[in-house]
Structures are given as structure tokens and as C-alpha cells.
């Protein structure tokens, strides 16, 4: 059984405390107070409470660290550590609000621009995924490895889809068509954090999406890397959390899948 570090224990304690409130509210989803941030982009009272809980717990344990949080924005570190927490208190909010049990808490720790630890917690399934730089990736206390599939025809691919007011629908439909033709299947489950955790666990062979924020993918990137996978932007460049695009997979299919995803973009440019 793996022994969790003090850092992972701090992150897990914050996530598990916030999760208690999310599970209570999930059981009463019809009564939630919900406000609109934009078309089909919601923030719930549960989301805000979870973020407050996580911030309080992490600040108590590491008082000098900064924050980048989905709802309350950025706070610079107050010490010289160069570290900040990147937090999504409820990744999969739309699932949550519709009573679908596919959502997660995502917490990453960044040090001078590099992610050094990540944790993704699924409260409903009690699945805890975590990783530290150089220390491997784990599901609860079991070591994770990405899948070893080397043929697209045998691979199961996850993605995220555009919705009203967001994303490039035409490009996405082209990508879906290209990937459907060459792979064993596509899944769209509505939580980028869990999709990345599932790539790290070998449940999905790859995941791609455009238009994401740093808090959607920060923890997942280190999970995939520490599980032996490869993460890049969709243009092949080294991942930049601010770019919004990601392709995460095992090393065997990454290049082939990237070429496949570039075909629709090339077709659009040729018009």
C-alpha cells in the first residue's frame, strides 16, 4: 500500500471536506439555488461553498501559497515559495445540476509555472486520483499506468463538446467524424478532470478538447504524465495551461491521433 505524502494528505483533506457538502446538495439537486453566468454556464450555491471550504483548508495548511480558483480568481503567493493552488471545486457542474453522478473536485499545486502535484476526487464513487512530480500516479492507493494499446482501432477516446455560445461546432463535428472512423469509440462524459484521470488509469486511451481553463486540466496533466502518458496542446506544442487545448494519451497513439485531429482543421483552411 502506497504511503501518501504530507502534501497529498493536505489536498485530500480539503477535497474530502468539500465533498461532504457536495454530496448533501447532490441529493437535493432540485432545490439548489442556481444563478446564470452565461448561456448554459451555471454556478451553483454548492460550487461556491465547496470553493470556500477548499480555500480555507488549504490556507490553514499552507498559509503563504497563492490561488487560482474558478469562481474567485487569482491571489498571488504571500511568501517566496512561488507556489499557488489551482482549484476547480466542481468540475462537471452541468452534470451535477442535472443529477448525473459524474463530477469531481480538482486541486493542483503549481510552483513557478510547473505543476508539481495534482489530485482529482470523485465524491460519489469515492475515487481519489493523485500524483506528485517524480512520485508516480495513484488511484486511492493503487499505482496507475496509462493503457498500452497501440492501435487507434482498439482505442476508446474521450472528448468534450461545444455547447450553446461556446466552441467551434463545425471544427468539432469534423474531428468527431475523423475519430469515429478510425477508433473503437468516443465518450463525452462532461468532466475534463475525470476524463484525464481515466486516461491516467488506462480506462480511456486518450482525451482531447478545446476551450478549457487552467483549473480544468492542471491536476489531470500531472496525473497522466506520472502514469506514463503524454500531454500536449492540440497543435503539438508543450502544454500551456492558458492555451485551452489539450491532447492526453498513452505514448503509442499520441502522434497518430494528433494527425487525425488535424485533418478537419486542414480541410477548413483549404476552403
Q: Which CATH class is domain 6-143?
A: alpha beta
CA 72/CA 236 separation, integer angstroms: 31
pLDDT attached to residue 268: 47
What strands, in cross-sheet order, belong to the sheet with 136-139? 73-75, 66-69, 83-91, 104-111, 114-122, 127-132, 136-139, 142-143
Extract the C-alpha cell encoding 45. 450555491
More confident residue, 179 or 32: 179
Q: Which CATH class is domain 152-270?
A: alpha beta
Question: What are the tens digits of pLDDT across the range 207-254?
Answer: 999 999 999 999 999 999 999 999 999 999 999 998 889 999 999 999
pLDDT attached to residue 38: 63
**pLDDT at residue 35 tops 90:** no
Mapped onto helix, strand or coil, the DSSP state of residue 37 is strand
Question: What are the tens digits of pLDDT across the range 103-151?
Answer: 999 999 999 999 999 999 999 999 999 999 999 999 998 999 999 999 9
Sign of CA pseudo-dihedral 186, 187, 188, 191: negative
Cα atoms found within 13 Å of the Cα of residue 81, Cβ hemisphere only: 17
**Domain boundaries of the chain, sorted by first residue:** 6-143, 152-270
**pLDDT at residue 9 tops 80:** yes
Question: What are the tens digits of pLDDT across the range 51-78?
Answer: 999 999 999 999 999 999 988 889 999 9
Does the pTM of the predicted model rise above 0.85?
A: yes
Amino acid at each position: 500500500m502506497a504511503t501518501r505524502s504530507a502534501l497529498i494528505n493536505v489536498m485530500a483533506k480539503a477535497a474530502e471536506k468539500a465533498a461532504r457538502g457536495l454530496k448533501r446538495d447532490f441529493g437535493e439537486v432540485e432545490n439548489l439555488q442556481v444563478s446564470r453566468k452565461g448561456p448554459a454556464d451555471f454556478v451553483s450555491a454548492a460550487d461556491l461553498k465547496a470553493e470556500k471550504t477548499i480555500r480555507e483548508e488549504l490556507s490553514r495548511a499552507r498559509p503563504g501559497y497563492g490561488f487560482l480558483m474558478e469562481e474567485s480568481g487569482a491571489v498571488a503567493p504571500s511568501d517566496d515559495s512561488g507556489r499557488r493552488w489551482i482549484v476547480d471545486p466542481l468540475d462537471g457542474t452541468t452534470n451535477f445540476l442535472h443529477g448525473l453522478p459524474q463530477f469531481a473536485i480538482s486541486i493542483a499545486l503549481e510552483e513557478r509555472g510547473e505543476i508539481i502535484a495534482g489530485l482529482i476526487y470523485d465524491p460519489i464513487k469515492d475515487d481519489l486520483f493523485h500524483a506528485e512530480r517524480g512520485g508516480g500516479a495513484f488511484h486511492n492507493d493503487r499505482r496507475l499506468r496509462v493503457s498500452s494499446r497501440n492501435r487507434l482501432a482498439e482505442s476508446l477516446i474521450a472528448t468534450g463538446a461545444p455547447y450553446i455560445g461556446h466552441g467551434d461546432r463545425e471544427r468539432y463535428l469534423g474531428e468527431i467524424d475523423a475519430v469515429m472512423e478510425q477508433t473503437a469509440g468516443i465518450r463525452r462524459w462532461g468532466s475534463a478532470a475525470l476524463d484525464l484521470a481515466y486516461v491516467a488509469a488506462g480506462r480511456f486511451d486518450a482525451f482531447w478538447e478545446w476551450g478549457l481553463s487552467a483549473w480544468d486540466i492542471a491536476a489531470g496533466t500531472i496525473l497522466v504524465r506520472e502514469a506514463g502518458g503524454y500531454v500536449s496542446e492540440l497543435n503539438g506544442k508543450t502544454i500551456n495551461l492558458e492555451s485551452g487545448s489539450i491532447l492526453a494519451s498513452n505514448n503509442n497513439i499520441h502522434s497518430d491521433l494528433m494527425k487525425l485531429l488535424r485533418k478537419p482543421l486542414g480541410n477548413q483552411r483549404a476552403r
